[in-house]
């Protein structure tokens, strides 16, 4: 997030796009509701499904999945043609505006309507509300990023923020909500194939030299490695022989499970380190029992870049051990001594090598409770808002984006669009929440949400088991007939291994971010006795 | 910013405009008893327990929680008269209260019990009709026992003001009034999000968490402050630990991103930690089956197989998937293992999923 969570309450307008905030990030949802209920914030929800936030919205825009670029370009077209842009901000803080303008001029609302299905007057209204607000914040999540054009979506949002001068000030900004407790931290720590901790490029020889010295090794690899999805492909080609997975369950979370399973089976050796024998661990050659969050010391970095403590409350069960101990033991057996691996010492090492974490220490965290990076020195208070005076690269760059359709669109054979996501009471691959008795009782099984019109056409009743089939696989799941999804679109949560939504999803990747298109796939529903001819996948 | 100065119990207190007398007093370390107050909620002023004397203000009694502090105010918080009023309020509340503290889930964490203790109310002077509601258990998380309700409206207000959901409102009138659900429907048939915010604000045992019932009194648990392990909000939570097990979770008021608010997963999603499915020993695949092994064997095998692949196929034949669930320190060490020990940049995690 460029801004802080507290900051959202100050926004005069919030555009929530591709985020079911009250279910996936409930506490961020509270901030948005508070902004609306107490501070008269105008909330625009752009979302195909009728999510809870729609009830608080000034305006609910129901764009078709995968058409966000057209919608946003249409809004920006209105902002430009009606003179609502922040010209001073554009002049002083940005570059590339003229080329950007040329593309935007090609997206009058009427053209956007043809693509995204939102009426021109609705696009105009949203554009006016957003651009005329003294401060307007953008909040998004995986509904924006999990597309074969996810990067385009994010760039469009950045364009919108810059066009209206909504960067670097209170109540504004571009605010992605991170879906997992420490997904921000895992990125910050260099668990990405192209960067060391603190986003220092592995291709930068100075960065490499610094880490070589600190880690006492002669040569660190200089070419970026493989992303998760590329690893799977490389494994199926036999190029990756050993895969070591720590605390992930890709069999449930990754698209096209059948393809992934093939890749896992094709590995020479799979190590899975986890707290449960997950669907992924079942494929492992070695399973290493790890400690849960309640059984160890450390830090997590949350969605607004806040580094906070994790403290040990109970002992791990049986012989389960902290991940840090396991990692250091493997390293030691390969002839490398990781030294003092206590959490405060490791943080000291991180701070010494990572400029944005340089001022973070356990002593300060004990005292202050939290520190937000960038925190470049031990006397720095942390940074609630990014890009206040200037952008990281100097001037903010407008990058014109043309609309590209999703990789798979509905046709006669697979006439419905499948979109996936989370529900309130479950979390990610379900390995934790589905083992919590009360949550399980309240939400015991998977459902496919179907619009009454589609249900009527297919002769489906709520509660009936149906087959949902894509080009990749079929799953058996109970139908929930609801107007919360529009006609032509079905929604399936991805938490449930016995009817895994991600068996159906598409592996088409964004060319830059390599993120799979989990939010749009073409499917068909098969009801009645015909469904029994399908072969159903379970994770 | 402009400051205002007032006198509370003879002490000069400097505060910022807009603060209530209750907040100004708290800043000066003066505790005024409350019952219907929660810092997460708008001032309400219904229970009158926080009445204070303010010189020159009509009859002189004002609710501290709902009265803004003002320049040159002279406030007294603990006079004989005030103690008498508070005592009467407590006696009236206790005249229709089960007084079953011995088995009540909230004993030790009950604001009414604390008030009765502080004001020495052992047996109320008043005898009258008492409620005999059945406890409502219509879902696996939240139990309601209206016999213990003091009608402070905190559950009604937190669900409406903070959650923006409004599952509860006062139903019926007078003696029969209760914070009910629409048409007395079970919570499972309302828009309830099972966040437990009503439990967290209830000052008595009228609304309690079912999963932690009977598992430990507030003085029997050790609270460990940590960061929630679910979504990226990063709420601060207190794990309640008794006999080496997590028996409940609460959210420290006005601390961290959640500021004392919490969701169903953060508050009730802890059961997995002690689940019998937890892995308790390393497993190694032998003849197609995963079988228990020693750490020595498992770690040796991992190191050998990685070393072998590096030697035969080069470091890029090994890949690492880190975890968005693990700590910064663990992720740091994991990518160090990949880069410094194995010599590959093949390290990623599920940031994209």
Cβ–Cβ gap B229/A303 under 8 Å: no
Residue B96 within a domain: no
Residue B209 within a domain: yes
What is the least distance, in Å, from the CA of A80 to any CA of chain B?
A: 33
Per residue in A403-444, pLDDT (tens digit) is: 999 999 999 999 999 999 999 999 999 999 999 999 999 999
- Chain A interface includes B291 (CB < 8 A): no
Whether the per-residue pLDDT at A144 is higher than 80: the answer is yes
Q: Same structural domain for residues B191 and B327? A: no
CATH number, domain with residue B64: 3.10.20.740
Residue B109 within a domain: no
Residue B160 within a domain: yes
Residue B105 within a domain: no
Reported ipTM: 0.95
Q: Same structural domain for residues B24 and B50? A: yes
Residue B91 within a domain: no
- Chain A interface includes B287 (CB < 8 A): no
Partner B, chain A 468-527, Cβ-Cβ below 8 Å: 513-516, 518
HSE-CB at B324 with a 13 A cutoff on CA atoms is 26
Q: Return the percentage of chain A with pLDDT > 90, whole number.
A: 94
Whether the per-residue pLDDT at B334 is higher than 90: the answer is yes
H helices within A164-222, ranges in order? 183-188, 205-215
Measured from the Cβ of residue A458, the count of other Cβ atoms closer than 10 Å reads 16
What's the domain count of chain B?
Answer: 3
CATH number, domain with residue B265: 3.30.70.20
Report yes or no: A405 and A51 within 8 Å, Cβ to Cβ: no
Average pLDDT, chain A: 96
- In which domain, by residue range, is B197 found? 128-274
Partner B, chain A 37-66, Cβ-Cβ below 8 Å: 37, 56
Residue B332 within a domain: yes
Q: Same structural domain for residues B148 and B188? A: yes
**Residue that finishes a domain, picked among B38, B55, B78:** B78
Residue B30, pLDDT score: 97
Per residue in A202-220, pLDDT (tens digit) is: 999 999 999 999 999 999 9
Task: Say which of A221, A276, A343 has its CB closest to residue B279.
Answer: A276
**Residue that finishes a domain, picked among B39, B57, B78:** B78
Nearest to A302, CA basis, from A406, A150, A184, A385: A184
A495: Cβ contacts below 8 Å, ≥ 6 apart: A252, A422, A423, A426, A427, A428, A429, A430, A433, A434, A446
- Chain A interface includes B332 (CB < 8 A): yes
**Residue that finishes a domain, picked among B274, B303, B334:** B274
Residue A54 CA, distance from chain mean position? 21
Q: Same structural domain for residues B133 and B179? A: yes
Q: Same structural domain for residues B69 and B132? A: no
What is the least distance, in Å, from the CA of A410 to any CA of chain B?
A: 23
Per residue in A46-90, pLDDT (tens digit) is: 999 999 999 999 999 999 999 999 999 999 999 999 999 999 999
For the segment A458-485, the average pLDDT, to the nearest whole number, is 97
Q: How far apart are CA B101 and CA B69, in angstroms?
A: 36
Nearest to A11, CA basis, from A32, A26, A27, A37: A32
Cβ–Cβ gap A346/B332 under 8 Å: yes
Cβ–Cβ gap A181/B257 under 8 Å: no
Fold classification of A183-372 is Rossmann fold (3.40.50)
Residues of B in contact with A293 (CB under 8 A): 226-227, 229, 325, 327
What is the least distance, in Å, from the CA of B308 to any CA of chain A?
A: 10
Task: Say which of B141, B270, B324 has its CB closest to residue A180.
Answer: B324
Q: Same structural domain for residues B139 and B250? A: yes
Q: Where are the domains of chain A?
A: 5-177, 183-372, 416-533
Partner B, chain A 296-335, Cβ-Cβ below 8 Å: 296-304, 306-315, 317-324, 326-331, 333-334
Cβ–Cβ gap A197/B332 under 8 Å: yes
Name the closest residue on chain B to residue A346, using Cα atoms. Answer: B329
A114: Cβ contacts below 8 Å, ≥ 6 apart: none
Q: Same structural domain for residues B303 and B328? A: yes
Per residue in A260-314, pLDDT (tens digit) is: 899 999 999 999 999 999 999 999 999 999 999 999 999 999 999 999 999 999 9
Cβ–Cβ gap A191/B285 under 8 Å: no
Q: Same structural domain for residues B183 and B312? A: no
Q: Same structural domain for residues B178 and B296? A: no
| Best residue of B167, B228, B241, B324 to probe chain A, by most A CBs closer than 10 Å | B324
Q: Same structural domain for residues B259 and B226? A: yes
Q: Same structural domain for residues B262 and B236? A: yes
Q: Same structural domain for residues B216 and B257? A: yes
Nearest to A365, CA basis, from A303, A429, A431, A299: A299
Fold classification of A416-533 is Barwin-like endoglucanases (2.40.40)
Residue B234 within a domain: yes
Whether the per-residue pLDDT at B35 is higher than 80: the answer is yes
What is the least distance, in Å, from the CA of A213 to any CA of chain B?
A: 11
| Best residue of A7, A19, A27 to probe chain B, by most B CBs closer than 10 Å | A27
Report yes or no: B239 and B270 within 8 Å, Cβ to Cβ: yes
Cβ–Cβ gap A191/B256 under 8 Å: no
CATH 3.40.228.10 fits A5-177, yes or no: yes
The answer to which of A405-419, B77-91, B121-135 has the lowest mean pLDDT is: B121-135
């Amino acid at each position: 997030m460029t801004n802080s969570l507290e900051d959202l309450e100050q926004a005069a307008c919030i555009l929530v796009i591709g985020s079911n905030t009250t279910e996936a990030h409930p506490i961020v949802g509270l901030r948005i509701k508070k902004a609306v209920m107490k501070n008269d914030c105008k909330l625009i929800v752009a979302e195909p499904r009728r999510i809870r936030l729609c009830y608080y919205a000034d305006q609910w825009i129901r764009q078709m999945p995968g058409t966000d670029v057209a919608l946003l370009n249409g809004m920006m077209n209105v902002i430009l043609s009606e003179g609502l842009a922040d010209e001073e901000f554009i002049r002083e803080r940005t570059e590339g505006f003229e080329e950007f303008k040329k593309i935007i001029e090609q997206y009058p609302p009427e053209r956007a309507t043809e693509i995204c299905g939102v009426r021109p007057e609705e696009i105009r209204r949203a554009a006016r509300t957003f651009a005329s607000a003294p401060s307007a914040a953008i909040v998004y999540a995986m509904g924006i990023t999990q597309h074969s054009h996810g990067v385009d979506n994010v760039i469009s949002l950045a364009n919108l923020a810059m066009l209206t001068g909504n960067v670097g000030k209170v109540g504004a900004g571009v605010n992605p909500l991170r879906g997992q407790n420490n997904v921000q931290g895992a990125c910050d720590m260099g668990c990405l194939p192209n960067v060391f901790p603190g986003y220092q490029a592995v291709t930068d020889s100075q960065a490499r030299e610094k880490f070589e010295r600190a880690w006492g090794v002669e040569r660190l690899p200089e070419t970026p490695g493989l992303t998760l999805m590329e690893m799977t492909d490389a494994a199926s080609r036999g190029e990756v022989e050993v895969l070591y997975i720590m605390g992930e369950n890709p069999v449930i979370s990754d698209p096209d499970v059948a393809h992934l399973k093939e890749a896992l089976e094709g590995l020479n050796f799979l190590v899975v380190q986890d707290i449960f024998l997950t669907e992924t661990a079942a494929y492992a050659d070695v399973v290493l029992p790890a400690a849960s969050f309640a059984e160890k010391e450390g830090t997590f970095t949350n969605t607004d870049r806040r580094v906070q403590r994790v403290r040990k409350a109970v002992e791990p069960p049986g012989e389960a051990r902290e991940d840090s101990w396991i990692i250091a033991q493997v390293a030691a057996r390969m002839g490398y001594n990781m030294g003092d691996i206590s959490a405060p010492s490791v943080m000291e090492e991180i701070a010494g090598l990572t400029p944005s974490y340089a001022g973070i220490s356990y002593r300060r965290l004990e005292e202050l409770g939290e520190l937000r990076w960038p925190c470049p020195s031990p006397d720095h208070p942390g940074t609630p808002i990014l890009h206040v005076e200037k952008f990281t690269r100097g001037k903010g760059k407008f990058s014109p984006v043309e609309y590209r359709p999703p990789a798979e669109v509905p046709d006669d054979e697979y006439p419905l669009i499948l979109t996936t996501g989370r529900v309130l009471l479950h979390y990610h691959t379900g390995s934790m929440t589905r083992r919590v008795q009360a949550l399980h009782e309240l939400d015991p099984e998977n459902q496919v949400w179907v619009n009454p019109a589609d249900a009527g056409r297919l002769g489906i009743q709520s509660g009936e088991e149906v087959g949902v089939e894509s080009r990749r696989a079929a799953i058996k799941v109970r139908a929930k007939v609801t107007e919360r999804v529009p006609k032509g679109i079905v929604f399936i949560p991805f938490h449930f291994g016995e009817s895994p939504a991600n068996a159906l999803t598409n592996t088409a990747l964004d060319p830059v971010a390599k993120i799979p298109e989990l939010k749009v796939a073409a499917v068909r529903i098969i009801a009645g006795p015909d469904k029994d001819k399908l072969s159903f996948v379970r994770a | 910013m402009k400051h205002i100065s007032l006198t509370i119990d003879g002490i000069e207190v400097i505060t910022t405009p807009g603060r209530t007398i209750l907040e100004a007093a708290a800043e000066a370390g003066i505790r005024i008893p409350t019952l219907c107050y929660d810092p997460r909620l708008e001032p309400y002023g219904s229970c009158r327990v926080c009445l204070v004397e303010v010189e020159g203000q009509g009859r002189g009694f004002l609710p501290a929680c709902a009265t803004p502090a003002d320049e040159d105010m002279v406030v007294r918080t603990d006079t004989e008269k005030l103690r008498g009023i508070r005592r009467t309020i407590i006696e009236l509340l206790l005249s229709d209260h089960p007084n079953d503290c011995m088995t009540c889930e909230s004993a030790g964490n009950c604001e009414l019990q604390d008030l009765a203790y502080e004001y020495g109310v052992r047996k109320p002077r008043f005898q009258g009709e008492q409620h005999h509601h059945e406890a409502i258990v219509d879902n696996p998380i939240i139990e309601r026992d209206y016999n213990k309700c003091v009608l402070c409206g905190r559950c009604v207000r937190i669900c409406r003001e903070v959650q923006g959901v409004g599952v509860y409102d006062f139903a019926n009138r007078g003696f029969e009034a209760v914070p009910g659900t629409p048409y007395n429907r079970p919570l499972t048939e309302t828009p309830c999000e099972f966040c437990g915010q009503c439990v967290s604000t209830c000052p008595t045992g009228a609304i309690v968490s079912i999963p932690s019932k009977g598992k430990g009194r507030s003085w029997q648990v050790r609270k460990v402050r940590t960061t929630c392990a679910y979504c990226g909000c990063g709420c601060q939570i207190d794990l309640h630990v008794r006999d080496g097990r997590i028996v409940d979770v609460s959210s420290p008021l006005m601390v961290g991103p959640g500021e004392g608010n919490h969701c169903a997963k953060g508050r009730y999603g802890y059961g997995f930690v002690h689940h019998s499915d937890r892995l308790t020993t390393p497993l190694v695949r032998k003849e197609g089956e995963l079988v228990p092994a020693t750490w020595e064997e498992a770690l040796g095998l991992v190191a050998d197989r990685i070393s072998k692949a590096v030697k035969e196929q080069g470091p890029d034949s090994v890949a690492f998937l880190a975890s968005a669930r693990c700590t910064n320190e663990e992720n740091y060490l994991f990518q160090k293992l990949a880069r410094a020990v194995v010599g590959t940049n093949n390290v990623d995690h599920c940031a994209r999923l």
